[in-house]
């Protein structure tokens, strides 16, 4: 079929006609059954009217943007376990990496992009989702470019260095009618969901005090986490886990914060903080003492309620988290792979049109607090959020 300007199909008493890219009358199921997958992809791409008639995929193609440690060691292996998505493409600025990934994961040449030709991804029907796994300073640019290309977006945390960036990312995705999910793997973990449920149901009454900590010893010197211009600093990285522990434990958003930053290795952490301690106040009167560091190994959460307590350790580990409650309840739900569960559930939400567990607005809520934390460090005062 050389032209799609004026043609018709007759099946019994049904007549299908497409003239000048205008759908006059169509029965989608019968229409698609007459086309090969290749011709259907050609027909639907680039045409919003016809694209709305395309069948919903049962498995979505993901392109990873940025092939550092997280993509290489965690996301790509996880995509071998997923049921609702698969590794369809990659975006990298390193030709050698492109060839390695192409051979290892059998990625077609047409699904391999660099940062310059990235926008051509708009014409690739194999790719439904762009997963941005770049330094935070680059998140806004590539989320916006992906949204303009008509692709759904997954974005690693921290969502972006500023509230303004987050708002621009959310706006771009809404304008282009695509979904934006933040890579908060922990919120997909049933162990984390267990203590969120306790807060919601008020099993032990009101939350009184939360202690939340997340950190590890990072001796690197040239990673983005040590570079302010790239969005580095512990608060946006591990600090988000400590912050989320408090937010999810209370089920509330903090109203004020007092924070203190410190560095014990200025030869490494001379642009950004190595350690951050911050106290959060919540509307109900609950308070949270949070710690995060690139110099201290810590991963725990303790919640004290009116009538009991809940402890989690680890609280934000890759291989699952576990805990206990004052009534003897054990929290130890098995999970095969956090990243696979996260991507499968986000893809299912896209396919079914349901709500995402951690949409862009969730990332914005964290960065709004992070900005207030830095302001508190700068001024030495309690800052309203």
Active site residues per annotation: 157, 241
Separation of alpha carbons 326 and 305, rounded Å: 10
- Which one, of 273, 282, 291, lies nearest residue 207 by Cα? 282
Separation of alpha carbons 64 and 94, rounded Å: 13
Greatest CA separation for the chain:
79
Q: Which two tokens stand for residue 145?
A: 């470019």
Q: Scan for tokens 């110099």, then name that residue.
A: 295
Separation of alpha carbons 103 and 112, rounded Å: 12
Separation of alpha carbons 130 and 153, rounded Å: 5
| Kind plus residue range of the DSSP H or E element containing 96 | helix 95-105
Separation of alpha carbons 78 and 75, rounded Å: 5
Neighbours of 363 (CB within 10 A): 27
């Amino acid at each position: 079929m050389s032209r799609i300007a004026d043609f018709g199909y007759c099946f019994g008493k049904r007549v299908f006609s497409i003239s000048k890219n205008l759908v006059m009358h169509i029965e989608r199921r019968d229409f698609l059954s007459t086309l090969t997958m290749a011709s259907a992809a050609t027909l639907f791409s680039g045409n919003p009217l016809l694209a709305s008639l395309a069948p919903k995929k049962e498995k979505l193609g993901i392109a990873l943007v940025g092939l550092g440690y997280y993509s290489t060691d965690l996301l790509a292996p996880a995509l071998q376990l997923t049921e609702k998505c698969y590794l369809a493409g990659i975006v990298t600025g390193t030709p050698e990496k492109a060839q390695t990934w192409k051979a290892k994961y059998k990625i077609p040449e047409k699904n391999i992009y660099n940062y310059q030709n990235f926008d051509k991804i708009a014409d690739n029907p194999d790719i439904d989702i762009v997963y941005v796994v770049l330094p935070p300073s680059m998140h806004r640019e590539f989320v916006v470019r992906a949204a303009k290309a008509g692709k759904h977006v997954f974005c690693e945390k921290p969502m972006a260095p500023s509230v303004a960036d987050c708002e621009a990312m959310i706006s771009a995705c809404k304008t282009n009618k695509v979904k934006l999910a933040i890579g908060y793997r922990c919120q997909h973990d049933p162990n984390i969901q267990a203590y969120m449920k306790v807060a919601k149901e008020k099993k032990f009454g009101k939350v009184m005090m939360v202690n939340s900590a997340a950190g590890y010893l990072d001796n690197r010197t040239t990673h983005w986490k040590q570079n302010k211009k790239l969005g580095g600093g512990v608060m946006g990285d591990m600090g988000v886990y400590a912050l989320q522990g408090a937010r999810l434990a209370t089920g509330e958003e903090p109203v004020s914060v007092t924070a203190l930053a410190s560095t014990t290795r200025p030869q490494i952490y001379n642009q950004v903080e190595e350690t951050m301690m911050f106290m959060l106040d919540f509307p109900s009167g609950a308070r949270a003492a949070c710690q995060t560091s690139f110099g201290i190994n810590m991963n725990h959460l303790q919640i004290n309620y009116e009538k009991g307590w809940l402890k989690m350790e680890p609280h934000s580990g890759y291989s699952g988290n576990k805990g206990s409650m004052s009534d003897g309840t054990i929290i130890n739900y098995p999970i095969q792979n956090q990243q696979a569960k996260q991507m499968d559930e986000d893809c299912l939400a896209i396919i079914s049109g349901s709500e995402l567990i951690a949409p862009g607005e969730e990332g914005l809520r964290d960065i709004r607090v992070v900005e207030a934390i830095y302001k508190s460090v700068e001024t030495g005062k309690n800052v309203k959020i």
